[in-house]
Amino acid sequence: MTSTAQAPQPGAGTAHPEHLGHVIFIAAAAAMGGFLFGYDSSVINGAVEAIRDRYDIGPAALAQVIAIALIGCAIGAATAGRIADRIGRIRCMQIASVLFTISAVGSALPFALWDLAFWRIVGGFAIGMASVIGPAYIAEVAPPAYRGRLGSFQQAAIVIGIAISQLVNWGLLNAAGGNQRGQLMGLEAWQVMLGVMVIPAVLYGMLSFAIPESPRFLLSVGKRERAKTILAEVEGKGVDLDARVGEIEHAMRSEHKSTFKDLLGGGFFFKPIVWVGIGLSVFQQFVGINVAFYYSSTLWQSVGVDPTQSFFYSFTTSIINIIGTVIAMIFVDRIGRKPLALIGSVGMVVGLALEAWAFSYNLVDGKLPATQGWVALVAAHVFVLFFALSWGVVVWVFLGEMFPNRIRAAALGVAASAQWIANWAITASFPSLASWNLSATYIIYTVFAALSIPFVLKFVKETKGKALEEMG
């Protein structure tokens, strides 16, 4: 929100708010949307086998029920910005909270397969909204001196949400005697797993009433005094508030609203830089990362692991995901985005190739041989670790930095859409591919991880230490 024509007033970029704890609370409350994003995305992991059994469906139909939420995600992400600009960031969060709550209740009490699929779409719409509104709100409210660190709350909340969902699923499965369809509180265990999300969804809605509206939105609707009050809260009273308001208003007036037409050019429809962004998004998904979060318990059970243990391994994978994310947050500004992406690609190739090798062995008494079983388990954790410390974070950093100012918003929208489509393709295809040949499926993911290395080396430029105005 800085302006090239009007320099920030002294202290605006380095303001230290008197109540930093309050600012952290605001960012953490907004990041609850990221927590629900992660939780809702992966909680289905605990219900896959039960849904297959209850509705007696094959891998193709099962895949559509799991993947259909991504359609809602794409719609929610595409519309959240306009909704937020019209009614405000806080109202947008409250709508997402209501949708998360409705989706949790509906998914826990379905009366038919299509009904469950519908509530999955509703939850997906909420995920899409949360994926857009959380980072945008935090960026607009955070004082410049803390923007990067507070912005990382969103990604941290997502991976924590994934981990907590797997821990809750594991606990509920144990309470139901290790049976996903076992009775728990008058319902089948898998229904309770999906319904528990009501708790964080309601909490998200309650927290949205305790945090202020974005000063940028308030200025856009003419509420200058309220905007100044909030700026004083988050940036400190030592900042020249009139100057900061003027700076934000000038930036809003001078912004170029990028459109799809701005992205066209070059020999292949889009400008080359847009294709690079699309490539990063597609590679991030085509290595099969979401198989680890949507289907891991099913995967382990398919090679003979006890259901309770398979849920526990899903939880440990999520903990590894958190550790990798923290590593990326520490090193992304130290060693750069491109080296981190390359390190991650090499690690993913190794992990995926070992999984493909382990899954190539025939099952003995319904289980992988002991050596191959342990290799598969360790390799799966290695894969998730290297993804999390690289592509899980780096791609979002690249997409936020690599595009020229004039096309950034529109290009980011196209790249994000490509990511949802690629996510859907992997999620929808895995059950059928795994039924065909699990080892070959992982060879496919290994090939994409390997191809990401020359792609990064040839087409991706380092953005570390460069001003946004230098891009393009």
- What pLDDT band is residue 231 in, cutting at 50, 70 and 90? confident
Task: Quote the pLDDT of residue 452.
Answer: 97
**Mean pLDDT across the chain:** 85
Rounded (5°) CA angle 316-321-324? 125
> Positive or negative CA dihedral for 327, 333, 337, 338?
negative
Task: Quote the pLDDT of residue 263.
Answer: 80
Q: What is the DSSP letter of 259?
A: -
Residues 6+ apart with CB under 8 A from 203: 32
Task: Quote the pLDDT of residue 307.
Answer: 82
Q: What is the DSSP letter of 183?
A: E
Q: pLDDT digits over 142-153, tens only? A: 777 677 677 778
- What pLDDT band is residue 164 in, cutting at 50, 70 and 90? very high
Q: What is the DSSP letter of 222?
A: T
Task: Quote the pLDDT of residue 264.
Answer: 80
Task: Quote the pLDDT of residue 466.
Answer: 63
- What pLDDT band is residue 272 in, cutting at 50, 70 and 90? confident
The span from the CA of 96 to the CA of 113, in Å, is 24
- What pLDDT band is residue 18 in, cutting at 50, 70 and 90? low
Task: Quote the pLDDT of residue 19.
Answer: 67
Question: Nearest CA to 116 among 14, 190, 201?
Answer: 190
Segment 337-341 mean pLDDT: 93
Task: Quote the pLDDT of residue 256.
Answer: 64
Say if CB 231 and CB 141 are below 8 A apart.
no
Q: Flag the least confident range among 75-84, 237-246, 446-455.
A: 237-246
Report the share of the chain in percent with pLDDT over 90: 39
- Say whether 402 sits in a helix, a strand or coil: coil
Q: How far is CA 166 from the centre of its chain?
A: 16
| Helical (H) or strand (E) element with 264 | strand 264-268
Q: pLDDT digits over 415-440, tens only? A: 888 888 898 899 889 988 988 999 99
Of the two residues 9 and 205, the one the predictor is more confident about is 205
| Helical (H) or strand (E) element with 184 | strand 183-184
Residue 458 has pLDDT above 70, yes or no: yes
Rounded (5°) CA angle 120-449-322? 55
Task: Quote the pLDDT of residue 139.
Answer: 79
Task: Quote the pLDDT of residue 368.
Answer: 86
Task: Quote the pLDDT of residue 279.
Answer: 95
Residue 7 has pLDDT above 70, yes or no: no
Segment 284-291 mean pLDDT: 93
Task: Quote the pLDDT of residue 5.
Answer: 37
Task: Quote the pLDDT of residue 148.
Answer: 66
Task: Quote the pLDDT of residue 17.
Answer: 56
**Helix, strand, coil % in the chain, rounded to nearest 5:** 75, 5, 20
Which residue type occupies 415? A
> Rg (Cα) of the chain, in Å, rounded?
23
- What pLDDT band is residue 294 in, cutting at 50, 70 and 90? confident
- What pLDDT band is residue 1 in, cutting at 50, 70 and 90? very low
Task: Quote the pLDDT of residue 381.
Answer: 94
Q: Flag the least confident range among 134-138, 254-258, 402-406.
A: 254-258
